[in-house]
Amino acid sequence: MKTARKLRLRLHKGRWLPGKNCPMDHAIDGQAHLPNRLARLAAQREALIETLRQAGVHDARVLQAMRTAPREQFVAPELWAQAYENIALPIEQGQTISQPLMVGMMTQALGLTGGEQALEIGTGSGYQAAILAECAHSVVSIERWPRLAERASRLLGMLGYTNVEVHAGDGTLGWPPGAPYDAILVTAAAPAVPEPLLDQLSPGGRLVVPVGSVEQQELLRVVKRAGGLEQQSLGACVFVPLIGAVAWREQYD
């Protein structure tokens, strides 16, 4: 009896290549289904890009990054079919991979041109870090759950993102060894703008952070100007809480 041949693939910056290190054991069984599956994902990804464009994401660098980074690789295999829906999805440790529109809007608000040193607080799945890696020169990303940090770091490496460093730790304190940062993105909800992050922002640097209660927040864009901080609201949002020394305590986890 013939057994189905297992085709091992690996993704390198959005392109499928043959190889034995298929990221996160997402090997695809049966060559016959492969073109259909890949074509379906590609079509869903293009439709999502169009949705983002219509909803206000117009930065070509951000749209290209979201076209390139394979979001399906950052979620569990059973969620692949939903990977390009405009929704947040669950990941391990009770956390979430953010809604694509939010990822697009937040990245766009950082105004990246390609030369920046960026800091992300809240690595989660690693997807937002991949988008930042596509748009900036280098990225440091901090995650409080060591298991998520390890997983994201391994996945980003397998996908070919050599300009991202992931560390486990309390991101409310920033990451002083990499400071100053031209762009800082916080992907969890803070009760106030964390002071250490402002200290680690370079002159002219941009910080995007959801600030408010545990239930609902306002997305803030803060720019460090010579004369002080310039703050702008980008609208309402809902994120999981930022837990740490300069944010919420663990009872909110």
95 binds ligand SAM (CB under 6 A): yes
Closer to ligand SAM at the Cβ: 7 or 238? 238
* Shortest Å, Cβ 173 to ligand SAM: 8
243 binds ligand SAM (CB under 6 A): yes
> Exactly one of 49, 52, 66, 121 binds ligand SAM (CB under 6 A); which one?
121
128 binds ligand SAM (CB under 6 A): yes
Our answer to whether residue 141 is catalytic in this structure is no
> Exactly one of 52, 142, 166, 237 binds ligand SAM (CB under 6 A); which one?
142
User: According to the 3-state scheme, what is the secondary structure of the chain?
Assistant: CCCCCEECEEEECCEEEECCCCHHHCCEECHHHHHHHHHHHHHHHHHHHHHHHHCCCCCHHHHHHHHHCCHHHHCCHHHHHHCCCCCCEECHHHCEECCHHHHHHHHHHCCCCCCCEEEEECCCCCHHHHHHHHHCCEEEEEECCHHHHHHHHHHHHHCCCCCEEEEECCHHHCCHHHCCEEEEEECCEECCCCHHHHHCEEEEEEEEEEEECCCCEEEEEEEEECCEEEEEEEEEECCCECECCCCECHHHC
Task: Find where tokens 């569990």 sit.
Answer: 76
Catalytic residue, candidates 98, 125, 141, 153 = 98
* Shortest Å, Cβ 210 to ligand SAM: 9
Stretch that binds ligand SAM, among 35-43, 107-115, 123-131, 157-165 (CB under 6 A): 123-131
189 binds ligand SAM (CB under 6 A): no
Closer to ligand SAM at the Cβ: 140 or 240? 240
**Amino acid letter, 168:** A
Stretch that binds ligand SAM, among 40-48, 64-72, 94-102, 224-232 (CB under 6 A): 94-102
Q: Which residues are catalytic?
A: 98
- Contacts with ligand SAM by CB under 6 A lie at 95-98, 121-122, 124-125, 127-128, 142-145, 148, 170-172, 187-188, 239-240, 242-244, 247
